Amino acid sequence: MVGALALAAVACGSTGTAVVETVAASDAAVLLEGDPAAVLLDIRTPEEFGEGRLEGAVNIDFYAADFAGQLAELDRDATYVIYCRSGNRTTAALDTFRDLGFTSVHAVEGGIVAWEATGHLVIRG
């Protein structure tokens, strides 16, 4: 699955300046609407992902032993929007993205909880 994601992300270009940041859920929604090539990553567990997710999200488990290895297979110049349940894992994951040289990563502040609280769609089941 990660291989296909990497291929899908190849078309995205570099911004020239690395942006690895936390953004409000509403700003993440605007970013996703404005950049259809942006890759949406859910870094929760597969069980959490199965309970509910954002439309179009791909799951890469933050707690997986090979989390950094899975990220290393992705296009570092693509734009990524990442989220977890409440924001704690995404905050920790930003360091990994930064260390691996990703250039455009936006973590949803407050995670899927904030996303849903602001009225955005969550796919259940």
Instruction: Give the active site residues.
Output: 84
Alpha carbons within 13 angstroms on the beta-carbon side of residue 86 total 1
Residue with tokens 């439309």, as numbered in its chain: 55
- The Cα–Cα gap between 28 and 42 comes to 13
Instruction: Label the pairing between strands 58-59 and 123-124.
Output: unpaired
| CA-CA-CA-CA dihedral for 101, 74, 36, 62, to nearest 10 | -90
Burial of 3 (0-12, 13-18, 19+ CB in 10 A): exposed
